[in-house]
């Protein structure tokens, strides 16, 4: 596979600013492409979903609610394709996803990994005003969203090999500050 590509992975809490950061980076680097994990959710009627009986709702916070093989296949297609700008020394692929590093083959492709964190209160303040399709049902955040995030973050932190390769960022910081730090790191690596 060509090392013409530099892969940035952005993961972390729901509503922590992952997509905003990914978009800002994409807008800064003209030779970049963004791929979002959210675009790989299974359809609501897919039989592979895990249903939460108590809430009569699908658990959308599990890696099994996503077609990760399709995402991985799409990432590989991009990495094997010639860049859009043959004169650029490196093309930038930005991967954005709330469970991105849970899929080891994709995590292993990331040259830089960022994990945005929030406290439960900060996360709820941001999430409660978001409109999801399907809508969050009452109790979904407390019973499912937050515990699944904590479990994922703990898995990442306990995986010493992976944890050493990740930059953890407080997602409650000013986005301009977050973006400038990440953008400077990427620029430094690409130069």
- What are the tens digits of pLDDT across the range 47-67? 999 999 999 999 999 999 999
Lookup: tokens for 169: 């960022």
For range 163-187, the mean pLDDT: 96
> Which has more pLDDT, 45 or 189?
45
pLDDT in tens, 102-140: 999 999 999 999 999 999 999 999 999 888 888 899 999
Lowest-confidence segment of 69-78, 126-135, 138-147 by average pLDDT: 126-135
In 10 A of CB 142, how many CB atoms?
11
Catalytic one of 38, 46, 108, 170:
38
For range 97-104, the mean pLDDT: 97
Query: For this structure, is 38 an active site residue?
Result: yes
Pairing of strands 166-170, 57-58: unpaired
Distance CA 46, CA 67 (A): 11
The three-point CA angle 63-66-69 to 5° equals 100
Considering all CA atoms of the chain, what is the largest pairwise distance in Å, rounded to the nearest integer?
56
Kindly report the pTM of this predicted structure: 0.94
Distance CA 146, CA 148 (A): 5
Distance CA 49, CA 171 (A): 29
Structural domain boundaries in the chain: 5-190
Q: How far is CA 148 from CA 72, 84, 99, 145, 186, in A?
A: 22, 38, 10, 5, 30
The residue among 152, 132, 29 whose CA lies nearest residue 84 is: 29
Lookup: tokens for 65: 């609610």
pLDDT band of residue 84 (cuts 50, 70, 90) is low
- CATH homologous superfamily, domain 5-190: P-loop containing nucleotide triphosphate hydrolases (3.40.50.300)
In the predicted structure, residue 170 carries a pLDDT above the cut 70:
yes
For range 31-38, the mean pLDDT: 94
Lowest-confidence segment of 72-81, 86-95, 157-166, 168-177 by average pLDDT: 86-95
């Amino acid at each position: 596979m060509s090392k013409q590509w530099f892969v940035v992975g952005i993961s972390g809490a729901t509503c922590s600013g992952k997509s905003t950061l990914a978009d800002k980076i994409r807008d800064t680097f003209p030779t970049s492409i963004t791929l979002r994990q959210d675009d790989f959710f299974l359809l609501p009627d897919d039989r592979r979903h895990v249903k939460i009986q108590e809430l009569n709702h699908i658990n959308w916070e599990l890696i099994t609610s996503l077609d990760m093989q399709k995402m991985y296949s799409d990432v590989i297609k991009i990495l094997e394709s010639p860049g859009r700008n043959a004169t650029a020394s490196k093309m930038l692929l930005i991967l954005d996803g709330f469970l991105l590093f849970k899929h080891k083959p994709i995590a292993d492709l990331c040259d830089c990994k960022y994990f945005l964190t929030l406290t439960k209160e900060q996360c709820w303040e941001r999430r409660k005003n978001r409109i999801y399709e399907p809508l969050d049902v009452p109790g979904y955040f407390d019973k499912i969203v937050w515990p699944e995030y904590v479990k994922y973050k703990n898995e990442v932190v306990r995986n010493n090999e992976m944890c050493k390769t990740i930059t953890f960022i407080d997602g409650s910081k000013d986005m301009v500050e977050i973006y400038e730090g990440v953008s400077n790191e990427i620029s430094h690596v690409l130069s």
